[in-house]
Amino acid sequence: MDTLVGTTPASVPSALRKLYFLRFTFAAVWAALLFTTAETLGALSVTLLLVYPLFDVAAAVVDVRSVKANGGPARFLYVNIAISSLAVIGLAAAATSGIPAVLRVWGAWAITSGLVQLVVGAGRRELGGQWPMIISGALSTAAGTSFLAQAGGGDPELGSLAGYAFLGGVFFLVSALRLNRARNGV
């Protein structure tokens, strides 16, 4: 398992804190926009569905650059980039088949990316502020299972994805605040 324990310069928590604040802001805005279009698969909702995993890829790339610039391991971040890239492709295809197909792809993505988030958070726990990421990863796997179940339900809609994204954003915010406290020795 990759770990940053004992080799992480002070700049990594600072970069993570900034990235986590950005991820919270993005998730909150994205969730609000998706919630307004959650009943149907229109042009805006499909665009939003594709933008979310693309943003995840971009955030992971920024994270990799920060970690690698400081000599840390990035193996699981590369896994996250691959999984989220596949999610974009899967969601684009699923959007042509309807909301149940989108929920299935999103559910599979939530499960796998949640497991990766769990592993990365556990590897970074010595940095401080990672317990929210670990919990978020675990909740993501559970939410993914729920999305798979919703896909088989009577009247599936995308509103639950907005709630999932917003809650994930809140975990990034909490983690950013905890990283700030750890940096300040609180």
DSSP annotation string for the chain? ----TTT--THHHHHHHHHHHHHHHHHHHHHHHHHHTTTS--HHHHHHHHHHHHHHHHHHHHHHHHHHHTT---HHHHHHHHHHHHHHHHHHHHTTT-HHHHHHHHHHHHHHHHHHHHHHHHHTGGGSS-HHHHHHHHHHHHHHHHHHHHHTSSS--SHHHHHHHHHHHHHHHHHHHHHHHHHTT-
Rounded distance between C-alpha atoms, residue 28 and residue 34, angstroms:
10
Please report the pLDDT score of residue 10 as a whole number.
Answer: 53
What pTM was computed for the model?
A: 0.85
Is the pLDDT at 6 greater than 60, yes or no?
no
Please report the pLDDT score of residue 41 as a whole number.
Answer: 93
Please report the pLDDT score of residue 121 as a whole number.
Answer: 85
Looking up tokens 């691959």 gives 82
Q: Residues 101-124: pLDDT tens digits? A: 999 999 999 999 999 989 888 887
Query: Of 27 and 157, which is predicted with more confidence?
Result: 27
Per-residue pLDDT band at 181 (split at 50, 70, 90):
low
Rounded distance between C-alpha atoms, residue 15 and residue 162, angstroms:
26
146: left (phi over 0), alpha (psi -120 to 50) or beta: alpha
